[in-house]
Structure 1
Amino acid sequence: MLIIISLIASFLPASLYLYFIWKTDKNEPEPISFIILHFIWGAVGAVIVGAIGSFFITNSFAYSEFPDLLEAVISAPIAEEFAKGLFLLFTFRSKKFDNITDGLVYGGAIGLGFGMTENFIYFVTFDGLLKYWALLVVIRSSFTIIMHMISTSVVGSMIAMAKFTGGISKIYLIFAGYLTAVLIHGAWNFSVSFMETFYFGLIFITALTIFFVMFFRYSLAKEQLIIQKELLEEDIPDEHKLILISNKRFKRGWIDESIRRLYIKTAVGLAFNKHQYKISSGRQKDFYKSEIEKKRSILKNLTGEI
């Protein structure tokens, strides 16, 4: 019975948070299958790699005066944030991963997967009174899993920025994202290691969550400006432009419903591809040029059907 309850208590919050960040990305929603792939890496792959890395780092603290504290504050953040972010270094090459919001979503998915598995392990192995188990569930489901989501989102957003950055700056951006994630993780683990600092930890994660929401909204607003700028230059019916560059595009009735979703997806994708073409170089530039021509052709065919 404890296994089933622990499974529900760990899976339900993670899935709700994942659904929320996926639905919040309204401009260009990410493929749910690709998001789930990142979630699975966090839940399985990152947990295994992180545990192995943490084991080796922790061994170096074996003769320290505070081995448990050093494991929580140093070895776990270093190993686990590396394990979670590792997958992003492979998937960021995908054409599905092409802006900061994508990095926030995919990084968040990995963090939530990792937090879910970690929570399940804590819940199912807890040996104490029911009221303390319930308190553990509330704290880890409301704060710890959010920490994992945000820390890996930071890595994802910096990797997204690095995708369109050349030279040594690319490495600096990725390392800065990883270091920030480690610091967030370490600060949280340190704060919950002592009763005297526990409430500071709750305040820290609450403030961090507010910042995350604001940064997510800023990223979406920046995307909206790109859509407006790039589509206003396109050969699209004026009455459609005014709708496509606003939130009215999500409403029914302004165009044949059978083509509305494809029309929006193609137009918004065209706007982002034009922006990406301007900030990319080499083979990336050739790829986005091809995508621009392809989407213009699709839009031309769609407007011909209206």
Structure 2
Amino acid sequence: MMFSQAAPTIVIKRSNSVGAMKIMLGVFVGLVALLLGLIVLYLIGIQTGPVALMAGLIFATLPVPVYITLILWLDRYESEPLWLLAVVFFWGATVAVFIAFVANTTGAYAVAASAGEEAGEIFGLVISAPIFEESAKALILFIVFFWKKDEFDGILDGIVYAAMVGLGFAMTENVQYYGMAALKGGLVAERNLFILRGAIAPFSHPLFTSMTGIGLGWARQSNNKAIKILMPLIGLGLAMMLHAIWNGTAYIHGLLWILAYVFIMIPVAITALVVVFFAWRREGRIVREHLLPDFQRGVMTQDEYNRLCSVRGRMGLSFRALRNGGFGIWRARMRYNQMASELAFHRNRVARGISDGEQEAREREAAYLQMLQDLRTRMGPH
């Protein structure tokens, strides 16, 4: 099994004042997000009480590390920066939940006041929640898409980021669900709900939002202007539609929800996995094409070059490094694999004309090559 590696640090000279401003802005945004998350937890605590709130927190966070590991496992060639994945997850768990909470509550109360309580509940579940929750989660995906072009290369990246923001959102949402279950039915009711939401259907929010991620990823890797404009909107629309089906069938009847789960959600999830498979193949082709010059210059051997171009081959390189050289050599090999991918994808962005600039592109490539050389020295003959 491969573990996610943080993207390498590429040193490009920038103004100190610009760097300081970015740090200050990042800290400010992080504090605001934390405040919004605490407000949400406070409001949940008012509903459930402190004991049920703590029980909800425990049950909601317990499986999250397992699910994060599975999401990171999908990112086999060019792992996304851990700090950026954390930002996306944190957004889903705080900002997106707060936006959705305010919008859903306001809309449901407004409809209930004019059309009755049942109409307000239906509106909140089937119309408001799909629109505002998916939009709130999608917002960070659009931010990353336009802000970090060098870290959003295609469909697979879109799925990974979408799954992380969806998982963060689901975690905080589950605090409320589990807390209310504990309040009304005790730990037995909370356990039963945990089995339903945490084991049988844990990936509902990540699956919904992955539609938006696929749309953005498709737009990134396409040169067709119509696709670049339409696919993100189509993806967001599909996310809202799946969300509405999920909530609507659950509200109407449990049997209808089961049918939707079996005949809609599971096929969509399987389709998403098929998309991941073909995204792996695309990324393998990018690595093969853009590392070919390094193989031709003798920077890497034929065997190493071939193995770097497939998921199975990379696993073999990593296992061999661990077996022959120990943990330190294994870590060096993992970073070498990651940086080789970063170099290949950087060259692909330059070839497609979506890099930051000619001078910075040259500096970045030189930095990657230097790091690969340093890691080669550290690995030795392993």
The equivalent of 1:275 in structure 2 is 348
Deviations 1:91-120 (A, max 9, x none): 222233333222211111110011011111
The equivalent of 1:106 in structure 2 is 161
Structure 2 CA distance for partners of 1:262 and 1:87, relative to 1, 3 Å? same
Residue 251, structure 1, aligned to residue 311, structure 2: no
- Whichever residue aligns with residue 103 of structure 1, its letter is G
Cα contact 1:107–1:149 (8 A) shared by 2: yes
Structure 2-normalised TM-score? 0.71
Cα contact 1:14–1:115 (8 A) shared by 2: no
The equivalent of 1:172 in structure 2 is 230
The equivalent of 1:69 in structure 2 is 122
Equivalent residues in 2 for 1:63-102, closer than 5 Å: 63-64=114-115, 66-92=119-145, 93-94=147-148, 95-102=150-157
Structure 2 CA distance for partners of 1:14 and 1:268, relative to 1, 3 Å? same
**1:146: Cα distance to partner?**
1.0
Deviations 1:24-66 (A, max 9, x none): 3121222222212211111111000111222343355333463
Q: Distance in 2 between matches of 1:164 and 1:210?
A: 22
Deviations 1:76-135 (A, max 9, x none): 000000111111222222233333222211111110011011111011123543544433
**1:164: Cα distance to partner?**
5.2
Residue among 243, 250, 253 paired with 1:192: 250
Residue among 160, 182, 203 paired with 1:146: 203
Structure 2 CA distance for partners of 1:163 and 1:212, relative to 1, 3 Å? closer
Cα contact 1:270–1:295 (8 A) shared by 2: yes
Report which stretch shifted further, 26-35 or 255-264: 255-264
Structure 1-normalised TM-score? 0.87
Residue among 79, 86, 103 paired with 1:29: 79
The equivalent of 1:261 in structure 2 is 334
The equivalent of 2:305 in structure 1 is 241
Cα contact 2:152–2:220 (8 A) shared by 1: no
- Whichever residue aligns with residue 87 of structure 1, its letter is I
The equivalent of 1:292 in structure 2 is 365
Cα contact 1:14–1:145 (8 A) shared by 2: no
Structure 2 CA distance for partners of 1:184 and 1:289, relative to 1, 3 Å? farther
The equivalent of 2:173 in structure 1 is 118
Q: Distance in 1 between matches of 2:244 and 2:202?
A: 14
Cα contact 1:100–1:157 (8 A) shared by 2: yes
Deviations 1:188-210 (A, max 9, x none): 11111123412113213222322
Structure 1 runs not aligned, ≥5 long: none
Structure 2 CA distance for partners of 1:50 and 1:286, relative to 1, 3 Å? farther
Report SS of the residue matched to 1:42.
helix
- Whichever residue aligns with residue 177 of structure 1, its letter is G
Q: Distance in 1 between matches of 2:355 and 2:167?
A: 35
- Whichever residue aligns with residue 129 of structure 1, its letter is G
Q: Distance in 2 between matches of 1:28 and 1:43?
A: 25
Q: Distance in 2 between matches of 1:112 and 1:223?
A: 25
Cα contact 2:218–2:227 (8 A) shared by 1: no
Report which stretch shifted further, 157-166 or 71-80: 157-166
Structure 2 runs not aligned, ≥5 long: 1-50
Structure 2 CA distance for partners of 1:208 and 1:78, relative to 1, 3 Å? same
**1:11: Cα distance to partner?**
0.9
Residue 158, structure 1, aligned to residue 221, structure 2: no
- Whichever residue aligns with residue 275 of structure 1, its letter is N
Report which stretch shifted further, 150-159 or 128-137: 128-137
Residue among 40, 52, 59 paired with 1:2: 52
Structure 2 CA distance for partners of 1:283 and 1:129, relative to 1, 3 Å? closer
Report SS of the residue matched to 1:98.
coil
Q: Distance in 2 between matches of 1:302 and 1:133?
A: 49
Cα contact 2:52–2:180 (8 A) shared by 1: no
Cα contact 2:355–2:361 (8 A) shared by 1: no
Report SS of the residue matched to 2:94.
helix
Report SS of the residue matched to 2:272.
helix
**1:285: Cα distance to partner?**
6.9
Cα contact 1:188–1:201 (8 A) shared by 2: yes
The equivalent of 2:8 in structure 1 is none
**1:153: Cα distance to partner?**
2.0
Work out the number of aligned pairs and report it. 306
Q: Distance in 1 between matches of 2:228 and 2:276?
A: 22
Q: Distance in 1 between matches of 2:290 and 2:368?
A: 13
Q: Distance in 2 between matches of 1:292 and 1:179?
A: 38
**1:262: Cα distance to partner?**
3.5
